[in-house]
Amino acid sequence: MTGAGLRQEIGTKSRLTAAFRFVITISAALLLSGLFHSPQLGGFAALGAFMALLSDTESDLISRLGGVAITFIGVMCAALLGVVLKSMEYGKWLVIGLVCFGQSLMTFAEKFWWLWGKYVLVFLLISIFDFTPDLMAFVGYFIGFSLAMAAIVLDHFVWRYEKLSLRPMAQLKLVEGGNRNSYAYALISTATLICALGCSFLFDFSEPGWVGITALYLLNSNVAAGYKRVVQRILGTLLAYFLVILIFPYIDDKFVLGALIVASSAGIPVFVGGNYTCMTFFITCYILFVLDWLMRAYGGDYSILIWRIWDTLMAAGWVALGLGVLYLWEKRLKKAGVEPRIPRNEN
């Protein structure tokens, strides 16, 4: 088999085994709801497992487990910090800005740390603006991450190709070697995120943190790819929204809802790093289904449907503006005879 053929086979098998990891891990997380008679526990465990599996480095076993553990520690510390910052009028904005600036310096070549920074910022935004984490949330996320680690160990001994990607510590060496985004891009990204959040308060959004999270994942140091991503994000979100809103009224059984959660989770790893519209579609479906699972446990709230539309449109508008500023900045650099900094393997 040629090198290209082998790489294609590895890529296909990697996505299929990743989908299998998602299915068994998310299924186990939801089964805990019935075992312990706690829908909250299963819902938070499903969200934790989802984040943990996406942070899997797919390198050697120790690095994979270590990466998941580092991710868990990072997001839990961010959640606790968010609770502390919630009442600080100016301090929370300063910390959000600093974290966003640091994360924006990371490129997709340092995929683990690039995603780790986004997770940390996501938990900061949620705990500051949207949801104050309680003990059940902590326990649920701990179980979700633990289940993901168990699935990784199983995957390692059943089927694996060694060193599909760099270890987390090896990825940091790329940053030390100068492979990072420009300070201008980091500054523009931070300003875009802060403006999007501020605008969500101006229009009295019920869940302003979601606007910041959407903007965070749309920002891209490649202007052309960034605009393409904005369109794909809107399209994927709208498709998921209309599908979910059509079937939500008919989901009366918890087993049906659980099956939909598992089915949507299986599509996520298949399209990660590939078709962004399809990936957005499956992630949006997954998040909405899991949130519905949790909202039913907390008394029910179907307004979660509208969050995904308005936060996407608001964030997309600000990101489009930020990308325009980045384009003008790079154009100015080229006129001055300075080539814009383009890091390797940018997503």
The candidate with the shortest Cα–Cα distance to 144, out of 272, 275, 57, 50, is 50
- DSSP category for residue 165: S
Ranges under pLDDT 50 in the chain: 1-10, 162, 344-346
pTM, 2 dp: 0.85
pLDDT of residue 179: 76
The candidate with the shortest Cα–Cα distance to 29, out of 40, 18, 19, is 40
Amino acid at 227: Y
Give phi and psi for 207, each to the nearest 5.
-130, 75
- Distances 37 to 27, 42, 46, 68, 256 between C-alpha atoms, Å: 15, 9, 15, 27, 17
DSSP string covering 17-43? HHHHHHHHHHHHHHHHHHHTT-HHHHH
Whole-angstrom Cα Rg for the chain = 20
pLDDT of residue 342: 54
Please state, in angstroms and rounded to a whole number, the distance separating the CA atoms of residues 326 and 320.
10
Q: What is the dihedral of CA 27, 28, 34, 35, to 10 degrees?
A: 170
Q: 267: helix, coil or strand?
A: helix
pLDDT of residue 268: 92
Please state, in angstroms and rounded to a whole number, the distance separating the CA atoms of residues 321 and 193.
11
pLDDT of residue 120: 94
Please state, in angstroms and rounded to a whole number, the distance separating the CA atoms of residues 261 and 319.
29
Please state, in angstroms and rounded to a whole number, the distance separating the CA atoms of residues 315 and 100.
15
Please state, in angstroms and rounded to a whole number, the distance separating the CA atoms of residues 97 and 85.
13
Please state, in angstroms and rounded to a whole number, the distance separating the CA atoms of residues 94 and 100.
10
Which two tokens mark 65? 């487990």
- Distances 202 to 129, 193, 214, 314 between C-alpha atoms, Å: 14, 14, 17, 12
Instruction: Judge whether 188 and 325 are in contact, CB under 8 Å.
Output: yes
